[in-house]
Amino acid sequence: MMYGNGFGWGWMWFGGVMLLLILAAVIILIVRTAASGSSPRGGQVPSAPNTARQIAEERLARGEITPDEFRQVVRALEERT
């Protein structure tokens, strides 16, 4: 038996296929968006890790530690090596 303008149960497969295609497109968009935003600094690849002395110098430059604390860190690093 046909319902409506000739569109019966025979066309249900088309709706299922379209639903799967739409879901696949949404998943692909989500994965691409997540992958493109995963690297730090707007897509730049991070450089080699900083040494302990470089980190101490950066902290001194930002004012996070005092020059005396910086000297203590440097001395401790020199003793360690």
Give the 3-state secondary structure of the chain.
Answer: CCCCCCCCHHHHHHHHHHHHHHHHHHHHHHHHHHHHCCCHHHHCCCCCCCCHHHHHHHHHHHCCCCHHHHHHHHHHHHHHC
pTM: 0.40
CA distance 26 to 33: 11
Sequence ranges of the domains in the chain: 50-81
pLDDT score of 58: 92
Q: What is the pLDDT of residues 40-76, one digit of tens each?
A: 555 555 565 668 889 999 999 999 999 999 999 999 9
Is the pLDDT higher at 80 or at 8?
A: 80
Q: What is the pLDDT of residues 16-39, one digit of tens each?
A: 889 999 999 999 999 988 887 655
